[in-house]
Amino acid sequence: MARILNNRNVIIITTLLILILLVGGTLWKVRTDSLNRSITVVEKRITEGFQACQFDDVCQNDEITLGELISLGYAKEEVNPVTKLYYSHDSIVRKEENDYIFEEK
């Protein structure tokens, strides 16, 4: 047993474990950042549709559903990048002060 765990082997095993942890952590971080950016892009398209609807004075309220935006032609069917499912038409886009917020249902 002592011959298997000599100093050289311990150093090699430790180095490999550190490399595996660094590469794994980096890949995980890149993947989650990419998914978060994809979600942000989709939600931004939806909120910009609501902004355009209000700019054209078609939408008078400060809250609207995604289904209404789609029927008015200011948005289209969008897929959630994480779940790969279409967003519900009952999802809400609302304006709070100068911010537009999309709430998935």
Residue type, 39: I
pLDDT one-digit tens code per residue, 32-82: 999 999 999 999 999 999 999 999 989 888 999 999 999 999 999 999 988
Average confidence score pLDDT of the chain = 91
Report pTM: 0.77
Residue type, 59: C
Could you give the CA distance from residue 40 to residue 34 in angstroms, rounded to a whole number? 10
Could you give the CA distance from residue 28 to residue 26 in angstroms, rounded to a whole number? 5
Q: Which H or E element spans position 100?
A: strand 99-103
Contact 42, 74 (CB under 8 A): no
Could you give the CA distance from residue 14 to residue 5 in angstroms, rounded to a whole number? 12
Contact 45, 69 (CB under 8 A): no
